Amino acid sequence: MTACSTSGADAGSGSAAGGTYTIWDPYPQYDDSSAWVQLLGKCGTDAGVTVKRTGYDTSDLTNKALLAAQQGNSPDVLVVDNPVVSTLAEAGVLTTTDDNKLDTAAIAPNLIAAGQAGGKTYGIPIGANTLALYYNKKVLQAAGVDIAGVTDWASLTAALAKVKAAGKKGITFSAIGTEEGSFQFLPWYWGSGADLRKLDSPQGVSALQLWTDWLKNAYAPNSVINNTQTTSWQEFATGDYAFAENGTWQLGNAKKAGFDYGIIPVPAKAGGTAPAPTGGEFVSVPVQKDAARYATTRKLVQCLTNTDNSYATVTALSYIAPTTSVQDTQVAANPDLKVWVDAVKAAKGRTSDDLGTKYPKISEPLWKAVQAALSGAKSPADALAAAQTTAAAATK
């Protein structure tokens, strides 16, 4: 096994039967001793081949995948962040699940939608993560807040007011001027009933007004404008904040925080669970010169995604499974995951609604609008009106 190598050479080496099959993934943090890389090796052994695995940073992986396709040197299996699937599909890099006779019937429709474009499916979600609200039980108790009553925007804002009056800090999140900022804003945006195809709708404006008012009333710190999801978590970990919007991936850190915490889904404006954006990757099959390789590649993909092995896969990657049966197994093993399973069931792909490659052209004006409103440069309505003009011109 070769982990974290830097060369894409020999991506298609080996004969169709036996030989070496290459897998590229966006997990350079995992070395040969990790559960993930061990699983890849087992899948190769089961398929009768040797797996050569390379881990790249997410942004680097997309560029390398496009370049490898141009050179006719694509890996056999490509694990990519879900918003990237439509970009690679449009570029002709990926085959479809129909091409490779991969069964997706058990996959949750809201999760597989992120890998669909033009009525075709270009991979299988390996798992998903998403966003929810962590809360500090001690801070809320001292402020006289019953978390059971926090069910919509009005009750959440009222809770923040109580927390501030009690001398503590309200809520922290990431509103940085990057995709992370859009990712964190989307639960509130979608929770208002807004649609990404019309950024300046009254619903969308109400979501940005909510965040703007929180800063104005000091329910959220001005630091959110520059916060990444990591730095916003660090603020919550001080123990001074009542709430933090963050992801499944912080569960381990939450257990180390040193205070009692809980988790609730991000509430929609009028109540219920807001659709949060799905994070997580798709296992996809790039186009190969030698079509005979697809039969073995199919075995590798099935190994990573079938119901029998999915639990091992999502456990290795700290994800929520994309199928109900494996989600039930996860909750039975760890009841703390139930809130995350519920959030994933309500989640939505950023490229869903057939936005595909239009999404990045919408997301950038959106995060710039968030920055403009939170900094006071523009009102929420004016910021989103300018964003809609930019997005409409870019997606014609």
Residue 117's φ and ψ, nearest 5 degrees, are -155, 135
Tell me the domain boundaries of the chain: 20-128+279-346, 131-276+355-394
Do 76 and 285 touch, CB atoms closer than 8 A? yes
Q: What is the DSSP string of 211-223?
A: HHHHHHTTSS-GG
Tell me what pLDDT residue 16 has: 52
Q: What is the DSSP letter of 305?
A: H
Tell me what pLDDT residue 5 has: 35
77-81/20-25 β-pairing: parallel
At the top level of CATH, the class of 131-276+355-394 is alpha beta
| pLDDT < 50: residue spans in the chain | 1-15
Do 82 and 278 touch, CB atoms closer than 8 A? yes
Tell me what pLDDT residue 262 has: 97
Burial of 100 (0-12, 13-18, 19+ CB in 10 A): middle
Q: What is the pLDDT of residues 171-208, one digit of tens each?
A: 999 999 999 999 999 999 999 999 999 999 999 999 99
Share of the chain above pLDDT 90, in %: 88
Mean of pLDDT over the chain: 93
Please state the pTM of the whole predicted model.
0.86
Token couple for 46: 């089961």
Tell me what pLDDT residue 13 has: 44
The single-letter code of the amino acid at 343 is A
Token couple for 41: 């090796």
Same fold, 20-128+279-346 and 131-276+355-394: yes
Tell me what pLDDT residue 309 has: 87
CA distance from start to end of the chain: 46
Q: Which residues of 139-176 are buried (b: 16+ CB within 10 A; e: fewer)?
A: bbeebebebeebbbbebbbebbebbbeeebbbbbbbbb
Q: What is the pLDDT of residues 72-81, one digit of tens each?
A: 999 999 999 9
At the top level of CATH, the class of 20-128+279-346 is alpha beta
Which stretches does DSSP call E strand in the chain? 20-25, 50-55, 77-81, 116-117, 120-121, 124-125, 131-136, 169-172, 241-247, 261-264, 281-284
Dihedral angle sign, alpha carbons of residues 378, 384, 390, 394:
positive
Tell me what pLDDT residue 15 has: 46
